[in-house]
Structure formats: C-alpha cells, structure tokens
Amino acid sequence: MAFRNFKMIGYVIYGRGAFNQLDEIIAPHRKGGAPMIFLVDHFFESKELVNLTPVRDNDKIFFVDVSCEPKTTYVDSLANQLKQEFGTVSGIIGIGGGSAMDLAKAVSLMMNNPGSSADYQGWDLVKNAGVYKVGIPTLSGTGAEVSRTTVLTGPTKKLGMNSDFTPFDQIILDPELTANVPSNQRFYTGMDCYIHCIESLTGTFLNEFSKSYGEKALHLCQDVYLNKNGWDGSCDDKLMMASYAGGMSIAYSQVGIAHAISYGLSYLLGTKHGIGNCIVFDKLEEFYPDGVKEFKRMVEKNHIDIPKNICADLTDADFNKMIDVSLGMKPLWENALGPNWEKQMTRKRLRRLYELL
C-alpha cells in the first residue's frame, strides 16, 4: 500500500490582530517592481479592512465577486488581465471566505500555467508552481486555507485543481476578521466544517492522523454551536481553528455523502457549498444517525432556516444531471460506503435522496 505524501501550506500565523503583520510578511516576497495583487471578497469594499491592507506602489486590490462560486472563466479572466497589465506579479493574496481563497489559489497557478484553468480540473494536472500566494480567511469552515484544492465550476464539471502546487505558501488566521459574519452564513459555512468532521470520522479511509484532527475540530464545533451562552468572541477563535483542523482531517481522508450529493445541487442549481451541505445533511439520518441528530439540535439552538423542497420542480433530465455529477465523485462514495459502494448507491436510490431535499 502506498501512503499519500501530501504537501502542506508553508507558513501559518494565528492570533487576533495577526492581519497587521501582513505588510512585513509579504515584504521579502516582493520582486522588483512586480506588484502584490489582493483579491478581496467584495463584502469588504469600502470597509475598514481595506485601509489596513498594505497596498504599496503599483499593488492592486480587486474586489472579487463571490455571489456565485468561482468559475474557471472568472479565474482565466483575472489571470489574463494581470498578465496583460503587469506581465508578472510578485504574489496573490486572497482575503475572504472559501470563494475568495479558492480564486486566489487558482489565479496564482494560472499566472504560470498555459491555457485555461478548466484544463487543470482534476488530480495532479497542474504542471508549474504558481506565484507566491497567501490565504486570509474572513469566514471559517471550509478548510480552503489548508487544502490542496481550489474548487471551480467549469464548462463540463465542478471539480478542483488538486495538486501539490495548490496549497498556500502562507496563511494568516486572524479571528477578528470573522467578527461580523451574519449568523446564517456563519452557520452554513461552520457546518461545512462540522460535516467534514462527521464524514471523515465515519469514513472507511480514516486513520489516526485524520482522526486526531477530526475529533478536535468536531469538539470545537460542538463548543461553538451548542454553547449555552450563545455566540461570543471566543467562538470566532474556536471556529477558525476548527476549520483548520477539519481541513487537515480530510487532507488524509475524504469527505462523504453530503458532499457528493451537494456537488450535484451546486452544479445544477448553483446552490452554495455551505448551505447545500446543510440541506443535504439534514436528510442523511440513515447514513450518519448521530451526526444528523446533533446537527438538528444545532439548527434549532441557533435559529437557522434550512431551505426545503428545493428539488420539487425538477425534471427527469435535471435529476439525471445531478446524479451523474454526484456519482462521478467516486472517492467520496468509497470513503462513505466502502469499495463496493456502487452496488449500494444505485441511481434509483440516489434519485430518492434528491427527491427528499
């Protein structure tokens, strides 16, 4: 058996106010006159964070539109624009949730790889290292800050650029940046982490490495979402570390059924990752009985709305498209159900699961 030799992020800084060190952290990576490019979640346009961002000389901030999850066409247009305007850049700094961080990773890679980002959707297709890249989460849960993928919707599939070149060179974990996330969004993205933990900890790929991180992340999520005193600042600190540890857990294992099903929803209906996972997980009691029960308690305690009947008006062709996308996520199904998963998860059974949503 060959064990995975996985590439991790380069440097990590954690702490309230750590964002203020960004200037000195990136200084040694400035190459001549080549600018640093900040891809900042559009939520922060005209917010205080922009004034704290160390924009020097010909550096540039792009406020990235994350109303849809990142598309390969968007990545390509950002990278082409940068190549035309500057030739080369010193680095790409992604500031935001999973979407802005994934855009930053993908644009960094496309600065040094020919063609379209759609050519690299898959495993280990990226040929050259990207430019220096930094990830700064402002929303906790996805684990995108630590992962070796950047999830993109392309012309034919929703699939990441999974490669050893994908992880960030540096991440800055500053829980202060997550202070003002609206409570529904904070829940949906936080539950992405919770679901990562449940899927990793109950999966057939589990080993002690994944388990150590997964259990820690799970306990942090429980602390945060079942906290008797409601939300306070310490929850932001905890959830940021839960996201990190949850990401580390799946690095050496895999996610499972909620993700496999929600990928189909996202491809067909554009349902965003966090909320999509919640909509699906809510109906997966037969696969994850304890996790789903606890999830429902968290939903209730935090007064969250989980949308219902989102598949009510779909056609057979729509269901078939979602089923195709979902069953394409083979490692996820294998992690959840074992090597003979195809016998267990027939198209008919999966269709019934989609009809529940």
Binding site for ligand NAD (CB under 6 A): 41, 43, 66, 69-70, 96-100, 102, 138-139, 142-144, 147, 149-151, 177-178, 180-181, 185, 189, 192, 272-274
CB of 117 to Zn ion, least distance (A): 20
Residue placing its CB nearer to ligand NAD in the complex, 74 or 132: 74
Measure the CA dihedral 30/31/33/34, to 10°: -80
The closest of 75, 91, 82 to 132, measured between CA atoms, is 91
Which amino acid is located at 328 in the chain? G
Q: Which does 82 bind (CB under 5 to 8 A by kind): ligand NAD, Zn ion, none?
A: none
The closest of 131, 132, 78 to 100, measured between CA atoms, is 78
CB of 70 to Zn ion, least distance (A): 14
In a 3-state reduction of DSSP, which class is residue 91? strand
Which amino acid is located at 134 in the chain? V
Q: Which does 98 bind (CB under 5 to 8 A by kind): Zn ion, ligand NAD, none?
A: ligand NAD
Q: Which does 150 bind (CB under 5 to 8 A by kind): Zn ion, ligand NAD, none?
A: ligand NAD
Residue placing its CB nearer to Zn ion in the complex, 192 or 236: 192
Q: Which does 185 bind (CB under 5 to 8 A by kind): ligand NAD, Zn ion, none?
A: ligand NAD
Residue placing its CB nearer to ligand NAD in the complex, 99 or 108: 99
**Cβ–Cβ contacts within 10 Å for residue 200, how many?**
28
CB of 249 to Zn ion, least distance (A): 12
Apex 122 CA angle, 120 and 124, nearest 5: 80
- Burial class for 325, CB neighbours closer than 10 Å (0-12, 13-18, 19+): buried
Sign of CA dihedral 23, 25, 31, 37: negative
Contact 239, 152 (CB under 8 A): no
Q: Is 69 in the site for Zn ion (CB under 5 A)?
A: no
CB of 199 to Zn ion, least distance (A): 9
Stretch that binds Zn ion, among 106-114, 151-159, 192-200, 310-318 (CB under 5 A): 192-200
Q: Which does 264 bind (CB under 5 to 8 A by kind): ligand NAD, Zn ion, none?
A: none
Q: Is 237 in the site for Zn ion (CB under 5 A)?
A: no
In angstroms, the CA 210 to CA 191 distance is 18
Residue placing its CB nearer to ligand NAD in the complex, 189 or 302: 189
Q: Which residues of 157-182 are buried (b: 16+ CB within 10 A; e: fewer)?
A: bbbbbbbebbbbbbbbbbbbbbeebe
CB of 277 to Zn ion, least distance (A): 6
Residue placing its CB nearer to Zn ion in the complex, 145 or 192: 192
Q: Is 192 in the site for Zn ion (CB under 5 A)?
A: yes
Q: Which does 291 bind (CB under 5 to 8 A by kind): ligand NAD, Zn ion, none?
A: none
In angstroms, the CA 158 to CA 122 distance is 10
Stretch that binds Zn ion, among 98-106, 132-140, 186-194, 284-292 (CB under 5 A): 186-194
Residue placing its CB nearer to ligand NAD in the complex, 108 or 178: 178
Q: Which does 256 bind (CB under 5 to 8 A by kind): ligand NAD, Zn ion, none?
A: none
Residue placing its CB nearer to Zn ion in the complex, 192 or 334: 192
- Kindly determine how many residues on this chain lie close enough to bind Zn ion according to the rule CB under 5 A: 1
Task: Give the distance from CA 31 to its chain's centroid.
Answer: 29
**Residues 6 or more apart whose Cβ sits within 8 Å of residue 256:** 198, 199, 200, 202, 203, 287, 288, 332, 333, 335, 336
Which amino acid is located at 293 in the chain? K
Contact 277, 192 (CB under 8 A): yes
CB of 63 to Zn ion, least distance (A): 24
Q: Is 236 in the site for Zn ion (CB under 5 A)?
A: no
Q: Which does 107 bind (CB under 5 to 8 A by kind): Zn ion, ligand NAD, none?
A: none
For Zn ion, the binding residues (CB under 5 A) are 192
